[in-house]
Amino acid sequence: MTTRQKTAIAPPAFALNRRAVLGGLLGAAVAPAGARAQTAEVWPQRFAHAFGETVLDRPAARVVSLGYTSHDALLALGVVPLALRYWYGDAPFGVWPWAADLLAGAEPVVLTGESGIETVAALQPDLIIGIGSGISQAEYDVLSQVAPVLMHEADSPIYGMGWDALTRILGRATGKADLAETLIAQTTQAFADARARHPDWQGKTGTAAYHFSGEIGAYAAFDGRSRFLTELGFRLTPAIEAYQGEAFYIPMSPEDLSGLEADVLLWLSGTDTDDDLAALPMRRLLASHAQGREVFAGTLTAAAVSYGSILSLPFALQRLESEIALAADGDAATVVPSSAKAGLAP
C-alpha cells in the first residue's frame, strides 16, 4: 500500500517503541529533527482527553485521520493524512471542495464504515486522530497499540469539539502550533471583516433553520450553525434564546412557524432543491417570506456550514455573504438568488 505524501519528513533514525510513548516514559529522546525553530516547543507533549492521556515525544508527520471532519484541519496545517474517514457525499477521496486544493494530487486511503484497523496499522502512522470519530474505548485501546491516538476532550461531546480547539490540538501534535494560531486568527478575522463590511447586521435577528423529511425547526443557540450567524453580528430571535433544552435543535410544528421569523431566515438543506420546503403552507404566511428575507443554502453550502471546520467556514461565508446581504437589506424588492432558484422567493 503506497501513498504519496505532500510533506515528506525523514523517518526516525531509531526504532520507535510505541508502548514507551504511550506509557509516557520520559526516557525517550526528544528528536531534534522534528522541532520547529519558530518557538521552543517542549517535547514530549501531553494530551489529556476522554479516554485518558496520550503522549507524543515528537511532532507527528504520518497522520491517520479517523474523525469525520478532522482531515480539514490537518490539510489546513499542510499535513496530508495517510488515510481519512468517509462521511457522506460524492467528493473525491472524501475531501470536500473547500479543502481539495490542499490535497494537491495526494491520494489518501479512504476508510468507509468501521475504522479499518488493519489498514491503519499497515500505513504505519505515528499519530491517529480519533477526535470526532465516535470510536469506542475498545477501539481506542487496540489503535493505541499501533500509534498514539488523540480523542476529544473529556467535557466535550463526541462530535462537538470546536474547530478552533481541534486546530489547536492538531497544531500542537504536528509541531505547527504557531501555524495553527495563525490559521485560527485568519478564519476569525474573515468573520470579523464580514461584520465590519455590514454594520447594519448588528442588532438584526437571524435564524438558522432546517427542514428535513417533514421536520422543521431552528438550530439551538449553541449549535455551530446558529453561531455562524451570530459571528456575523446577528442576534438570535427570542424564541431561540429562550430555549433551555439540551438538544442542538428546536423543533417546530408545521402548523406554526412563527418561531422562525427573523430579519434573515437561513434555510440549511441537504439537497439543492427542496420542493417540500417550497410548498410548506405556513412558510408562505411568514413575514420573512413575504419580504424576501430567506436565504437557501443547498448541498454544498449547507454542508460547509454544518461541517464547521476551519476551511469550510470561510468557504461558506464566501458563498453566503452576498445572499445574506440581499436578504437583510430590508428591501422586499431585492431578490435573493438562492431563494429564487430554490423556489422560495415570494
Partner 1 sequence: MCLAMLFAGAIALTLGAGVQSMSLAAIWGAVVAYDPTDPLHVVLAELRLPRLAAGLIAGTALAVSGSVMQALTRNPLADPGLLGVNAGAAFAVVVGALLMGQNAAWAIAMLAFPGAALAAVAVFLLGGGLSGEPGPIRLTLAGVAVSVLLLSLVNGIVLIRSDALDVYRFWVAGSLAQALQKPLVMLALVTVAGWLLALWLAPLLDTLALGRNLARGLGASPLRVQGGALLAVTLLTGAGVAVAGPIAFVGLIVPPLTRRLTGCHDLRTEVLAAPVVGATVLLLADGVGRLVLAPAEVRVGVMTAIIGGPVFIWIARTLRPGEQR
Partner 2 sequence: MKGALVLTALLAALSMLSILWGEVRVPPGDLWRGLITGEGPGALTVRVLRGPRLATALGAGAALGLSGAIFQTLLRNPLAAPDVMGFNAGAGLAVIATLAAGLTLPMPLVAAAGGVAAALLVAVLGHRKGQADTALTLILVGLGVGFTATGLATFLSLTISDALAIEARRWITGSLAARSWLHAGQVWGMGLVLCLLLAVQARALGLLELGRDLATGLGLNAARARAGLLATGVLLAAAGVAVAGPVPFVALMAGPLGRGLTGARSPALRLAAAAGAGAAIMAAADLVARSALPGIQFPVGVMTGILGAPYLLWLLSRAFGKGEA
Residues forming the site for partner 1 (CB under 8 A): 86-89, 112-113, 212-215, 217, 251-256, 259, 270-276, 279, 281-282, 284-285, 299
110 counts as binding partner 2 under rule CB under 8 A: yes
Q: Which is nearer to partner 1, 11 or 89 (CB)?
A: 89
Inter-residue contact 268 to 260 (CB < 8 Å): no
Which residue's C-alpha cell is 515528537? 58
Applying CB under 8 A, which of residues 57, 72, 126, 139 lies at the interface with partner 2? 139
Quick one: which of 134, 165, 179, 319 contacts partner 2 (CB under 8 A)?
134
The residues in 159-188 that bind partner 2, with binding defined as CB under 8 A, are: 159
Triad 47, 51, 54: Cα angle to 5°:
30
- Rounded Cα distance between 214 and 255, Å, is 12
Cell numbers found for residue 180: 495553527
Nearer to partner 2, 111 or 262 (CB): 111
Contact residues for 176 (Cβ-Cβ < 8 A; gap 6+): 36, 59, 77, 78, 79
> Residue 138's binding partner, choosing from partner 1, partner 2, none, with beta-carbon cut-off 5 to 8 A by kind?
partner 2
Q: Which helix (H) or strand (E) holds 289?
A: helix 287-290
Run of H or E residues at 187: helix 177-197
- Rounded Cα distance between 200 and 256, Å, is 29
> CB of 278: closest distance to partner 2 in angstroms?
23
**Using CA atoms, how far apart are residues 12 and 302, in angstroms rounded to an integer?**
42
Q: What is the distance between the alpha carbons of residues 41 and 59, in angstroms, rounded to a whole number? A: 10
In whole angstroms, the minimum distance from the beta carbon of 269 to partner 2 comes to: 14
Residue 340 · residue 346 · CB < 8 Å: no
Q: Which of 7, 17, 39, 145 binds partner 2 (CB under 8 A)?
A: 145
CB of 117 to partner 1, least distance (A): 17
Ranges within 202-261 binding partner 2 (CB under 8 A):
215, 247-248
* In the complex, minimum distance from the CB of residue 339 to partner 2, in angstroms, rounded to a whole number: 25
Name the minimum Å distance from CB 302 to partner 1: 12
Q: Which is nearer to partner 1, 120 or 194 (CB)?
A: 120
Nearer to partner 1 by C-beta: 274 or 294?
Answer: 274
Q: How far is the CB of 257 from partner 1 (least distance, A)?
A: 10
The DSSP secondary structure of 213-238, one letter per residue, reads: TTEEEEE-TTSHHHHHHHHTTPBPPH
Interacting partner of 137 out of partner 2, partner 1, none (Cβ under 5 to 8 A depending on kind): partner 2
Tell me phi and psi for residue 83, to 5 degrees: -145, 150
152 within 8 A of 131, measured Cβ to Cβ = yes
Neighbouring CB atoms inside 10 A of 103's CB total: 18
In the list 12, 44, 52, 116, the residue contacting partner 2 (rule: CB under 8 A) is: 116
In whole angstroms, how far apart are CA 304 and each of 20, 118, 125, 310, 313?
Answer: 40, 31, 28, 10, 6
Nearer to partner 2, 160 or 337 (CB): 160
CB of 52 to partner 2, least distance (A): 12
List the single partner that 345 binds among partner 1, partner 2, none, CB under 5 to 8 Å by kind: none
Residue 159 site contact among partner 2, partner 1, none (CB < 5 to 8 Å, cut-off depends on kind): partner 2
Per CB under 8 A, the segment of 112-120, 258-266, 274-282, 311-319 that binds partner 2 is 112-120
At CA 217, angle to CA 215 and CA 221, rounded to 5? Answer: 145
Eight-class DSSP state of 129? E
Q: Which residues bind partner 2 (CB under 8 A)?
A: 1, 50, 68, 87, 109-119, 121-122, 132, 134-139, 141-143, 145-146, 157-159, 215, 247-248
